[in-house]
Amino acid sequence: MEETLRIERMGNGAEAVGRLASGKTVFVAGGAPGDAVRVEVVEEKASFARARIVAVEEPSPLRAEPRCPHGDACGGCPWQHLSYEAQLEAKRANVVGALVHTARLEAVRAEDLVRPCLPSKRQWGYRNKLELGAARAENGEFLLGFHREGTHEIATPAVCPLAHDAVAKAPKALRGALRFAQGSADLGIFRVGVRHSVRTRETEIALWTKPGAFPRAHVAKTLKSALKATSIVRVLADPGRARKIKGVETLDGKGCWGEELADARFLTSAPSFFQVNTAQAEKLAAEVVEGLGGRMGEEGPEGLDGLLVADLYAGGGTFSVPLARAGADVIAIEAAGSSVRDLRRNAEMNGVDIEVVGGDAARELPELGGLDALVVDPPRAGLADGVAESIAEAAPARVAYVSCNPATWARDVARFEQNGYRLARAQPVDLFPQTHHVEVASLFERE
C-alpha cells in the first residue's frame, strides 16, 4: 500500500515521524521534517506503522547532501541527510518531549528548562573510537565491520567518516591484516576496538578474543604494518552481551590509551569506557563543575573547595578528576574492575586525592552518609530502582545527572521530583552528530 504524506518531525530514534491518511502515526527512515514523500507501508501495528520512502516528491529545506555512501548499509549515521541545525533542533525537541510525555512536566516548564543543544565543532571525524564486529561468513571468510542496528549482520565499509582521520580507514586496513594473520585458522576474534586521540596522537588496537592459544607476536607485527599504533592489546572474554572479561594481554606498546580532557591526562584500558567525542565530553565536565557551583578557569577547574561530592558510575574519572582538581573532596564509586584501576591511576597521575570505592552504586550509596553534592552518569538503562530514593536520603543540596538516554533520564526526573528534588535545568550536548543520540547534563536542587 502506497500513499503520500508530510513528514512532521524527527522521532526519538533514527526515523522520522508522519501520519497516514487514517491518522495513524508512521515511522519513516530517511525522512526529514517538511518532506512530502510517497511511502510504502512495510509494517503495521495496532497503534503505529513503519514505511519506506518510495519517492521524495517535495524535499524539505532541512535536507543536506549525505556524505557517507555506506550509511544505509551500516546505519551508523542515520541523520546525515539532515542539516546540522535541524539535527540540533530535533535533539532538543526530543529532550523536551521526554520531559512532557515521560516525566509529565508541563510543556511550558519543559520548554523553559531545556537549553539549546550545544553543537559539536566537528560534525564529521569526531569519534575517537570505532567498535568493529568480527565473524565468519558461511564460506569461512573473515568479516570485520559494523553491526547493522538490531541485527547480527556485519556491514563492511572501507572507511568510516565519523572517525578521526587517522583511523577512518581502519576497518579496511585491519580487515586485511587480520585475514592475513589468521590464514586458514580461527583465532576466536569476535570484536576489534580502535581508539585514537588527536591531542596525544596515541592509537590503540584492542582484539577481543575467546580465551585460548594465540600467536601474539605474529598478530602484533601484522597489525603494526597495517595501522600505526602505540598500543596493541588482547582482551580475553566470552562473546555475547555480558562479555565477562578473563584478562587483558599487552601484545605491543603501552598497553593502554592516553587522552587529554579538561586540562587533565587520562589513561584508559581497553575494556574501560571513555566518551567517544572528547571535545564534547569536556563540555559535559564543564556543565557538571559549574552546576555544582565551580567554574572552568584558565588553569583548569576551580571553586569547589571543601565540597563533599560523590560520583556514581564514575568510570575512569571523567568527572571525578575535574571535580577533585576544582577542590572538591570526591568519593568515586565504580563497579567495573578495569575502570576502578584506571580511576586510581588517573587520580595519581593528575595529582588529586580521590577516595575510590569499587562496588555497585545502589549498594554503596547508603553507606556514604551526608553529602554536599552528587554526580551520577548511569548506563542507558538509567538509575536502578531505589537509587533516586537513596540519593534523597543522602540529602545532597545539588545533584548533577548526566544521561545518554533522554527516555530513562525523564523517568528518573519524575522519581527525583517525587523525592524532594526539583529539576533546575537541562543542557543537551551533541556528542554524536549525524545520529539521533544526545547527552543531557542536568541539575537538580533539593527543595
Answer whether 61's CB lies under 8 Å from 82's CB: no
- The predicted pLDDT at position 378 comes to 96
Looking at 1.10.10.10, 3.40.50.300, 3.40.50.970, 3.40.50.150, the CATH number of the domain 93-121+277-446 comes to 3.40.50.150
377 is in an annotated binding site: yes
d(CA 410, CA 403): 10
Residue 163 DSSP code: B
Mean pLDDT computed over every residue of the chain: 95
- The predicted pLDDT at position 362 comes to 84
For 187, half-sphere exposure in the C-beta direction (CA atoms, 13 angstrom radius) is 23
- The predicted pLDDT at position 138 comes to 85
d(CA 183, CA 166): 27
Residue 83 has pLDDT above 70, yes or no: yes
Of the pLDDT bands very low, low, confident and very high (cuts 50, 70, 90), residue 256 is very high
Task: Name the architecture of domain 2-63.
Answer: Beta Barrel (2.40)
- The predicted pLDDT at position 175 comes to 96
Beta strands 129-136 and 25-28, pairing class: unpaired
Residue 73 has pLDDT above 90, yes or no: no
Catalytic residue among 68, 74, 117, 404: 404
- The predicted pLDDT at position 415 comes to 97
126 is in an annotated binding site: no
Per-residue pLDDT tens over the stretch 281-334: 999 999 999 999 999 988 889 999 999 999 999 999 999 999 999 999 999 999
**Among this protein's residues, is 256 annotated catalytic?**
no
d(CA 151, CA 135): 13
Per-residue pLDDT tens over the stretch 134-152: 998 888 889 999 988 777 7
- The predicted pLDDT at position 300 comes to 87
- The predicted pLDDT at position 62 comes to 98
Q: Looking at residues 29-47, what average pLDDT do you find?
A: 95
d(CA 182, CA 159): 22
Report pTM.
Answer: 0.94
Per-residue pLDDT tens over the stretch 47-68: 999 999 999 999 999 999 999 9
Residue carrying the nine cell digits 527512515 = 29
Q: Would you kindly state where each structural domain of the chain is located, as residue ranges?
A: 2-63, 93-121+277-446, 129-260
Residue 241 has pLDDT above 70, yes or no: no
- CA 156, 270, 345 angle in degrees (round to 5)? 160
Answer whether 25's CB lies under 8 Å from 15's CB: no
439 is in an annotated binding site: no
- The predicted pLDDT at position 305 comes to 96
Of the pLDDT bands very low, low, confident and very high (cuts 50, 70, 90), residue 121 is very high
The C-alpha cell at 377 is 552518569
Per-residue pLDDT tens over the stretch 173-217: 999 999 999 988 899 999 999 999 999 999 999 999 999 999 999
- The predicted pLDDT at position 242 comes to 63
89 is in an annotated binding site: no
Residue 446 has pLDDT above 70, yes or no: yes
Equal CATH topology for 2-63 and 129-260: yes
Q: Which long-range contacts (CB under 8 A, 24 or more apart) does 61-70 make?
A: 61/34, 62/32, 62/33, 62/34, 62/86, 63/32, 63/35, 67/124, 67/161, 68/157, 68/160, 68/161, 68/162, 68/434, 70/155, 70/157, 70/159, 70/160
What is the Cα 9 distance to its own chain's centre? 23
Name the CATH topology of 129-260. Answer: OB fold (Dihydrolipoamide Acetyltransferase, E2P) (2.40.50)
Q: Looking at residues 427-433, what average pLDDT do you find?
A: 98
